[in-house]
Amino acid sequence: MTLVLDTPRLTVRDYAPADLDDVAEILADPAVFWWETVPFDRERARRWLADEMGLAARDGTGRRAVVLKASGKVIGGAGLVWRDVEGDREIELGYHLHHAFWGQGYATEAGAACLEHARRIGLRRVVSLIYVDNPRSEAVARRLGMSPEREVAWAGLPHRVWALELPVARRHLGLGRRRVVGELSRRRGAR
Ligand SMILES: CC(C)(COP(=O)(O)OP(=O)(O)OC[C@H]1O[C@@H](n2cnc3c(N)ncnc32)[C@H](O)[C@@H]1OP(=O)(O)O)[C@@H](O)C(=O)NCCC(=O)NCCS
């Protein structure tokens, strides 16, 4: 099952190998993956893209391409990824945008679509791990209805866990989140 989320201005969809040019351009910008110490050259971007596509194929998680409908260009990434946060298994909503597309509400629009998708597949809770000095990312989380919970060390840096409890989607009452994601992968396998 491929994932396509539709919003007024964006399509959030599975990555494809043909996205490499756009992805490499975004990842090469030091303002985007600012925490990386090694520059993202094209080969590293290719591996990053393959990893995200691998997650999607494995269990339906992974960041997806955020595509501007007006141009068809990939302007960023957003999606749900499993994280081990100090021993707790959490689903993280991650997002990033090409620098040229900041300040227009696109990250919030893509993030809201991902949260709605999370709710539909029966996830009960989504977090974002946000570096303590990343006000733009905090503002996105706040606009998405997330609240700060606690500080954790993540990738060697102080981060805050922002969390949102999701209402139970009716058709998933009684299902655990692992089962739901497992169900996603089985559907993919049956494709
Ligand atoms: C985090 C990141 C995605 C946030 O980008 P952003 O552009 O600030 O967030 P949005 O796309 O939601 O845009 C919100 C802004 O657009 C404005 N905006 C303009 N038009 C809008 C519209 N039609 N709808 C909503 N907001 C709109 C909002 O008022 C807000 O403005 P402000 O920044 O002056 O408050 C971006 O800074 C980034 O990629 N950072 C690097 C990667 C990163 O740190 N990721 C997070 C890791 S935890």
Check whether domain 4-189 has CATH 3.40.630.30, yes or no? yes
Q: How confident is the model at residue 172 (pLDDT cuts 50, 70, 90)?
A: low
For the Cβ of 7 lying below 6 angstroms from any atom of ligand 1, the answer is no
Record the tokens describing residue 39, joined without a space.
């520059």
Closest Cα partner for 25 from 56, 48, 57?
48
Q: 11 CB contacts (<8 Å, ≥6 apart)?
A: 4, 5, 67, 69
Per-residue model confidence as pLDDT tens digits over 6-62: 999 999 999 999 999 999 999 999 999 998 888 899 999 999 999 999 999 999 999
Q: What average pLDDT does this structure show over 104-133? A: 97
Residue ranges per structural domain of the chain: 4-189
Whether the pLDDT of residue 74 is over 60: the answer is yes
Read off the pLDDT of each residue in 146-174 and give the average, rounded to a whole number.
Answer: 88
Looking at residue 134, its amino acid is: N
Whose C-alpha lies nearest to ligand 1, atom 39? Answer: 96
Predicted confidence (pLDDT) at residue 160 exceeds the cutoff of 50? yes
- Rg over alpha carbons for the chain, rounded to the nearest Å, is 16
List the beta bridge partners of residue 85.
Answer: 88
> How far is residue 94's CA from residue 130's CA, in Å, rounded to a whole number?
9
